[in-house]
Amino acid sequence: MCVVTFVQIRLRQQRDALKFPQKFAVNYRIEQNNITKRETAKMIIKGERMLYGAPPVDIRNGSFSSYKAMQINCYVSVKAAPTSFHTFSIQTKGETLKSVTVITNNEGVASTFLNHKFYYLNPTFFVTHRYDGDNSHATEGSALSFGIVEISNLPIVVDKPLGFDYVKL
């Protein structure tokens, strides 16, 4: 009886491993130095930290890509001239997915949060920083931006392309 129970449990674990993908999460440190007014630059990936699982994430030419659907959370901060405007964007192949504009406080610091869920397979994206400028300072200045991109799998299972195959009722 013990052998039968053990075999049943093992078969169940193998079946569940096929139906439910393993969870993963990874953090990437990003930054960009010396962005001048009215300039847009792609954030540079500086470091990686595995949180758990085996993330299927590739980095090519400063862009993130994966063969699975995923969720991204991006926390970014900027140091620049006080009351200057900065736009951070999550972009993919010329299309802006999320974008937010912040204004620095009197000390020249601002922070923001962006998130996006890719409900399709094989997404590719990158993060950009645009220094929109300011009206209060006539001198040219530069900005320093830095942050974290967290990539994890979705809370729902998306391992196949979403299609229109319906069962006839």
Choice between 140 and 87, residue whose per-residue pLDDT is larger? 87
Output the six-digit token pair for 74: 């991006």
* Residue position matching structure tokens 């540079």: 44
Do 125 and 90 touch, CB atoms closer than 8 A?
yes
The CA distance from 118 to 124, in Å, is 9
Length of the chain in terms of residues written: 169
pLDDT reported for residue 164: 57
DSSP one-letter code for 23 = P
Do 82 and 104 touch, CB atoms closer than 8 A?
yes
Residue range 9-22, pLDDT digits in tens: 877 777 665 555 67
The CA distance from 136 to 76, in Å, is 24
Q: Which of 13-27, 58-72, 95-109, 134-148 has the lowest mean pLDDT?
A: 13-27
Domains of the chain, CATH where assigned:
25-152 (2.60.120.40)
The whole-angstrom distance between residue 166's C-alpha and the CA centroid of its chain comes to 32
Closest CA to 69 of 126, 113, 124: 124
Look up the pTM and report it. 0.78
Percent helix, strand, coil in the chain (nearest 5)?
Answer: 10, 55, 35
Sequence-ordered list of residues with C-beta below 8 angstroms from that of 61, at least 6 positions apart, any chain = none
Output the six-digit token pair for 33: 């130095």
Q: Is the pLDDT score of 157 beyond 80? A: no
